A and B are shown apart, each in its own frame.
Chain A
Amino acid sequence: MRHSSSATLLFLAMLASCDIVEFPDNTGNGGGPAPEGPARKVLLEDLTGHTCNNCPAATDIAVDLHDVYGNALILVAVHATAFAEPAAPPFDNDYRTIAGEAYINTFGVGSLPAGFVSRREFNNSVILGDGNWGSAVADIINTPADMEVLFNTVTFDPGTNTVNMTVQVIPVNDLTGDHNLTIYLTEDSVVSAQIDNQQSPPDVLNYVHRHMLRDNINGTWGEPVISGAAAAGDTLTLSYNYVLPAAVIDPAKCSLVAYVYRTDNYEVLQAEEVKVQP
């Protein structure tokens, strides 16, 4: 009977294994305390497309997360996959980029919505559904950073549509391995058609696309900023002169996003965002 008693106890213990949530809103927690030193910011790349009917709901989650974490969370909407291909009007715009297509091919993205959260594995996968974004962001954000990424200077010349920038990468700890710096140009609030299954009818002609990736300023995979090793306190500086592409609608809504990632596993260790016109 000892066996059956144990089994009964086990059964009863499991019966208690239920968490019933009456009021799920959790946004009052605010993301927890920041560390004493530099904190790690998170890059959330929202992979999307204008004919992806579930993507606007995912973007809403990203924006909600940004409301919680503020500037510690950097959002970039990467329009890619067949869902972003030009189609019959009103979906005849092409917001894809060479870099965006390269990313989805490299990481093997098969369906949308999906995203990368600092391109770090969460639950065994770099490609994350929107249901995992919040948890994956919480896992990284406000943890101690290995480096700082700073836009030292950013100036914009409206006459030539040129932005000049100086980016500094300063390791907080001694680092080993190869690291690249990539800089994005993003444009916020681009008004264009989108299929949104949260709306009726779902074809929304004046959908506001957020944080759209427009171009990579220094190539799809950036360029080396740490080769082999770097010591804490080193200052690594890179400068760029960049002419905004013709596709940009409003420079005032453009931002620069710089991030440093490990080239062996693509994980983004630190990111920073600044307006083109501060």
Chain B
Amino acid sequence: MIGTGTGALRLIPFMALLLIGRSGLAQAPDSTATPPPHTGPDLPQVHGNFSTDAQYYRVDSVIGAEVPDEKMGINAWGNIQYTQGRFTAGIRFETYEPPLLGYPAGEPYSGTGIGYRYARYSIDDLDITVGNFFEQFGQGMAFRSFEERYLGVDNAMDGVRVKFQPTEGIYLKGVVGRQRFGFDDGFNNGVGIVRGADVELSLTEFLPTAFPAWVEKGRNLVLGGSFVSRYQEDKDPLRELPENVGLWAARANYTNAHWNLYTEYAYKINDPNASNDFIYKPGQGLLMNATYSTKGLGISAGAHAFDNMVFQSDRATQNLFNLNINFLPTLAKQHTYNLPATLYPYATQPNGEVSYQGEVFYKFKKGTPLGGKYGTKLAVNYCTAWSLDSTAMPDDTLQFKGYTTAFFQRGERQYFSDFNIEVRKKLSKTWEIAATYLNLVYDIEVVQGKAGAPVVFADMFIVEGLHNFTSRNSVRFEVQHLRTNQDKGNWVTGLAEFTFSPHWFVAAMDQFNYETLDESFSQNGEEVEVKRTHYPIGSMGYIRGGNRFTMNYGRQRAGIFCVGGVCRQVPASNGLSISITSTF
């Protein structure tokens, strides 16, 4: 995405972010930020921030947009943080009166109340948090408590966290608590208790004298290990369910000036749960990433395999957005352009997936034939994901193991592939342009749960441009086209975004689902009448100091939003939305 400083369609509310585009998705104010370093007298400080997304809905029979009884929805969050020396306390008020349509992704939110509160202090090398907190071990395969506010995903812990550094280079963490589960005039907690510990050893910090060359050249090896356990009472009269389910993980990360090599392995004991049909097979996961970077060149490669790795603090929850203890990242590129980001996003299949990805970034230098006067940037990326090679166990009536697996061996079903290439070039002092091509294979039946739907094969072409009229005023535009014979057929999107720094921006966008240029459309093997639908939306915003106001009016299309193979229907809507963010 070519940067323009602001971005009219970058701070639109939740639905628009999902279905219009996630480019420049606004970062939710961090209510758990580490207190600032202790540099002066212990004067108390109070800081905070506020953000709200509200929408007034209109009926739109063309796109099936409905209106709730309340006519409008509003989500709002207000953080207040008190800091004095090494002590910090914070609280977050939340309002959903009612929540925006389709929000949140998991357990419902309603009413007004406190969604997050904590107190934290550090003394010597001990750091203690009581109340709510977010935390992560390694890359999250064992434990990750986090918030994606605009999706309505929040599995904040409510309990105790202790961090301790017994000596230079050794870092210990311990967490105990329950996870957030919905909101009803205040946050609720899930039924399971989560206990976790993590230890990390940074070799050159721990033994600098033993590795003087490493210290001098900026090399390091970090080793880590985690253990996380969930307790949930078993009352089931049919099966004996494990009340304490443990997961351990080990990781290593080598870095130097050019290389970053990371690997992590995790193993989970029997964890019968709703997502794996209550089988008693252990789970395991392995991920590996390698990146190389030097001036003008970057290369990355990654691979992972996950088998039966859903780990939630309620074994019976049927929603993969709720109560996740761990996090399994996808290797797929997270596109920011509207069409690839919102029509066919890929999410990890946590109960069985093998995936690989590679990416090369290269900058052609200025003055070379391909670099021209200002240089040229090229990025090529490929990712693919497959089922795990597994075989159902016959006569599985005693131990309920479910299936056997050839770990890290891919099965026969391809879930996803994405080949994309981007070229970016500054043409002159006032013009910059980018062109992108994507080729997508998307098993919509697996990823979005559309039973019987054929695999989507899509090609996309995107052109983006930026023109600076003056040092303050600019226009950014995008033209995107998606061609496919499956699902909803062809799309074209146009976007123009004018910025008048430092205060104003105005934008207009239209998504046009024209399906096909023919007179009939073959949808899932059946000839249907062509329906051509426009989704126009306009946006404007004003920024002053720490305050930002954004207003949008138009259509937002219905769609599917998926995480981990569980998909949520996001309803179509039409109306006026307003967003405000503010900090102090």
Interface residues of A (CB under 8 A from B): 1, 3-4, 7, 10-11, 14-15, 17-27, 29-31, 53, 57, 61, 64-65, 68-69, 108, 111, 114, 123-125, 128-132, 134-135, 137-139
Q: Is the CB of B237 within 8 A of A123?
A: no
Q: Which residues of B contact A68 (CB under 8 A)?
A: 237-238
Q: A7-B197, A138-B235, A138-B237 are in contact. List 4 more A-B contacts (CB 8 A).
A: A18-B242, A20-B242, A23-B240, A131-B278
Q: Is the CB of B272 within 8 A of A24?
A: yes
- 0/1 string, B210-251, CB within 8 A of A gives 1: 000000000000000001010101111111111111101000
A11 and B199 in contact (CB under 8 A), knowing A4-B172, A131-B316, A131-B318? yes
Q: Is the CB of A14 within 8 A of B190?
A: no
Q: Is the CB of B244 within 8 A of A18?
A: yes
A135 and B399 in contact (CB under 8 A), knowing A10-B197, A14-B197, A18-B229? no
Closest-by-CB residue of B relative to A195 is B451
Least CB distance from B118 to A in Å reads: 21
State the 5 A-B residue pairs at the shortest beta-carbon distance, nearest first. A131-B316, A19-B242, A18-B246, A129-B318, A17-B229
Q: Is the CB of B245 within 8 A of A18?
A: yes
Cβ-defined partner of A23 (8 Å) among B243, B274, B398: B398
Most buried by B among A10, A27, A65, A135: A135
Least CB distance from A174 to B in Å reads: 29
Q: Which residues of B contact A17 (CB under 8 A)?
A: 195, 229, 231, 244, 246
- 0/1 string, B255-292, CB within 8 A of A gives 1: 00000000000000110111001101000000000000
B343 at the interface (CB under 8 A from A): no
Q: Which residues of A contact B316 (CB under 8 A)?
A: 123, 128-129, 131-132, 135
Total chain B interface residues with beta-carbon distance under 8 A:
51
Least CB distance from A137 to B in Å reads: 7
Q: Which residues of B contact A131 (CB under 8 A)?
A: 273-274, 278, 315-316, 318
A19 and B244 in contact (CB under 8 A), knowing A124-B182, A131-B318? yes
Closest-by-CB residue of A relative to B166 is A4
Most buried by B among A15, A19, A64, A124: A19
Q: Is the CB of B270 within 8 A of A135?
A: no
Closest-by-CB residue of B relative to A134 is B236
Least CB distance from B76 to A in Å reads: 22
Q: Is the CB of A26 within 8 A of B236?
A: yes
Q: Is the CB of B197 within 8 A of A24?
A: no
Q: Which residues of A contact B245 (CB under 8 A)?
A: 18-19
Bound Cα distance from A248 to B108, whole angstroms: 38
Closest-by-CB residue of A relative to B225 is A11
B181 at the interface (CB under 8 A from A): yes
Least CB distance from B424 to A in Å reads: 43
Interface residues of B (CB under 8 A from A): 107-108, 126, 164, 166, 172, 174, 181-182, 188, 190-191, 195-197, 199, 227, 229, 231, 233-246, 248, 269-270, 272-274, 277-278, 280, 314-318, 398-400, 451
A24 and B241 in contact (CB under 8 A), knowing A7-B164, A124-B188? yes
Bound Cα distance from A70 to B244, whole angstroms: 30
Bound Cα distance from A30 to B272, whole angstroms: 21
Closest-by-CB residue of B relative to A114 is B318
Bound Cα distance from A243 to B526, whole angstroms: 45
Q: Which residues of B contact A130 (CB under 8 A)?
A: 274
Least CB distance from B96 to A in Å reads: 14
A21 and B238 in contact (CB under 8 A), knowing A53-B451, A131-B274? no
Bound Cα distance from A17 to B246, whole angstroms: 6
Bound Cα distance from A69 to B237, whole angstroms: 9
Q: Is the CB of B270 within 8 A of A139?
A: no
Bound Cα distance from A111 to B319, whole angstroms: 10
Least CB distance from B246 to A in Å reads: 4
Q: Which residues of A contact B233 (CB under 8 A)?
A: 135
Bound Cα distance from A29 to B236, whole angstroms: 10
A134 and B235 in contact (CB under 8 A), knowing A3-B126, A129-B318? yes
Least CB distance from B49 to A in Å reads: 29
Q: Which residues of A contact B190 (CB under 8 A)?
A: 123-124
Interface of B is mostly: loop
Q: Is the CB of B238 within 8 A of A134?
A: yes
Q: Is the CB of B318 within 8 A of A111?
A: yes
Q: Is the CB of B240 within 8 A of A3?
A: no
Q: Is the CB of B399 within 8 A of A24?
A: yes
Q: Is the CB of B242 within 8 A of A11?
A: no
Bound Cα distance from A124 to B316, whole angstroms: 12
Q: Which residues of A contact B227 (CB under 8 A)?
A: 11, 14-15
Q: Which residues of A contact B174 (CB under 8 A)?
A: 7, 10
Least CB distance from B113 to A in Å reads: 15
Cβ-defined partner of A61 (8 Å) among B126, B196, B238, B398: B238
Closest-by-CB residue of A relative to B196 is A14
Closest-by-CB residue of A relative to B198 is A11
Q: Is the CB of A14 within 8 A of B229?
A: yes
A135 and B240 in contact (CB under 8 A), knowing A3-B164, A24-B400? no
Q: Which residues of A contact B182 (CB under 8 A)?
A: 124
Bound Cα distance from A30 to B191, whole angstroms: 25
Q: Which residues of A contact B239 (CB under 8 A)?
A: 24-26, 134
Least CB distance from A269 to B in Å reads: 20
Q: Which residues of A contact B398 (CB under 8 A)?
A: 23, 25
Q: Is the CB of A129 within 8 A of B166?
A: no
Q: Which residues of B contact A135 (CB under 8 A)?
A: 233-236, 316
Most buried by A among B235, B236, B315: B236
20 A/B residue pairs, CB under 8 Å, sorted by A = A3-B164, A7-B166, A7-B199, A10-B197, A11-B199, A14-B246, A17-B231, A17-B244, A18-B245, A18-B269, A19-B242, A20-B269, A25-B239, A25-B398, A26-B240, A30-B237, A53-B451, A123-B191, A131-B278, A139-B235
Closest-by-CB residue of A relative to B192 is A123
Least CB distance from B352 to A in Å reads: 16
Bound Cα distance from A3 to B171, whole angstroms: 12
A64 and B451 in contact (CB under 8 A), knowing A11-B197, A129-B274? no
Bound Cα distance from A11 to B233, whole angstroms: 22
Bound Cα distance from A53 to B450, whole angstroms: 12
Bound Cα distance from A69 to B174, whole angstroms: 42
Q: Which residues of B contact A128 (CB under 8 A)?
A: 316
A24 and B451 in contact (CB under 8 A), knowing A18-B245, A29-B237? no
Least CB distance from B349 to A in Å reads: 17
Q: Is the CB of A31 within 8 A of B237?
A: yes
Least CB distance from B449 to A in Å reads: 10
Q: Is the CB of A138 within 8 A of B236?
A: yes
Least CB distance from A2 to B in Å reads: 10
Q: Which residues of A contact B273 (CB under 8 A)?
A: 131
Least CB distance from A157 to B in Å reads: 40
Least CB distance from B321 to A in Å reads: 12
Q: Which residues of B contact A18 (CB under 8 A)?
A: 229, 242, 244-246, 269
Cβ-defined partner of B399 (8 Å) among A4, A23, A29, A53: A23
Q: Which residues of A contact B269 (CB under 8 A)?
A: 18-20
Bound Cα distance from A131 to B496, whole angstroms: 49
Closest-by-CB residue of A relative to B199 is A11
Most buried by A among B190, B239, B272: B239
Q: Which residues of A contact B229 (CB under 8 A)?
A: 14, 17-18
Q: Which residues of B contact A19 (CB under 8 A)?
A: 242-245, 269
Q: Which residues of A contact B451 (CB under 8 A)?
A: 53
Q: Which residues of A contact B181 (CB under 8 A)?
A: 124
Bound Cα distance from A114 to B244, whole angstroms: 25
A21 and B241 in contact (CB under 8 A), knowing A11-B197, A57-B277, A123-B314? yes
Least CB distance from B127 to A in Å reads: 12
